[in-house]
Amino acid sequence: MAGQSDPHISLFSAEEVEFMAEDELIEIVPNMRMDPLNFICGDFGPFLPQIASQVPLWLAVALKKRGKCAIRPPQWMSVENLTRVLEGERESQGAFQVLPFHYVEISRLLFDHAREDIPDMYMVRSLIEDIRDVRIHKVETSLEKFSGTSAVKIPNLSAMEVNIIRPFVGRALQAFYKHDNPEKIPDVDRASSAQTRAANNEPRRQLRR
């Protein structure tokens, strides 16, 4: 993934974050009988009609697309719980309510592929969007108070929120450290230019014919 393979690019794409969220476990209710499925990530099943079973989200979506199961939304996606979370987010400007790390991606996948399995789907989606907007505003407010330190700690952030602030915080910390310790930070542009000149000055190898 781009965010892991290249240290200079710390921002994951939305698709990459969603891909990681698909490993989260969720409950399904099969409507068929099936032997256990064996994957590198684990064994799931056997599956029996109307007997709930936990599977990774990606497998739940795949079975749902084939009409093999219904998906049970997680308890945190109830209207009552989301209403309580939204109220807590609005009342507490300095703290974030506890939600699953991938709450944005999980809810989006369920809205896309299992909306008929979600009670009060439109209300649930509206509450999650409101929660996300309030939390993003709080993240922006927290970053306005950001000062040069060796670490940044904002508890209970989600994957999407961490992904948004990671590039800014990384560059800010590097700038603060470079300001305080200029002799310890190599000039990346100068080093890259020197490497390019050295490569251009090397003798060319003859191509095989």
CATH code for position 96: 3.40.5.50
pLDDT of residue 134: 96
Cis omega (within 30 of 0) on the bond before 46? yes
Residue 174 pLDDT: 61
Domain membership flag for residue 90: yes
| Between 189 and 180, the higher pLDDT residue | 180
pLDDT at 15 over 60: yes
Residue span of the structural domain in which 63 resides: 14-181
* Residue 209 maps to a domain: no
For 99-153, write each residue's pLDDT tens digit: 999 999 999 999 999 999 999 999 999 999 999 999 999 888 877 666 555 556 7
Between 74 and 163, residue with greater pLDDT? 74
- The per-residue b/e assignment along 174-191, b for 16 or more CB within 10 angstroms, e otherwise, is eeeeeeeeeeeeeeeeee
Residue pLDDT, tens place only, 191-204:
445 544 544 554 54
Our count of domains for the chain comes to 1
Q: What is the pLDDT of residue 93?
A: 80
Per residue in 56-106, pLDDT (tens digit) is: 999 999 999 999 999 999 999 999 999 999 999 999 887 899 999 999 999
Does residue 130 belong to any structural domain of this protein? yes
Q: How many CB atoms lie within 10 A of CB 147?
A: 7
Flag whether 153 is in a domain.
yes
- Please tell me the distance from the alpha carbon of residue 29 to that of residue 73, in angstroms, as a whole number: 11
Whether 31 maps to a domain, the answer reads: yes
Global pTM reads 0.74
pLDDT at 205: 44
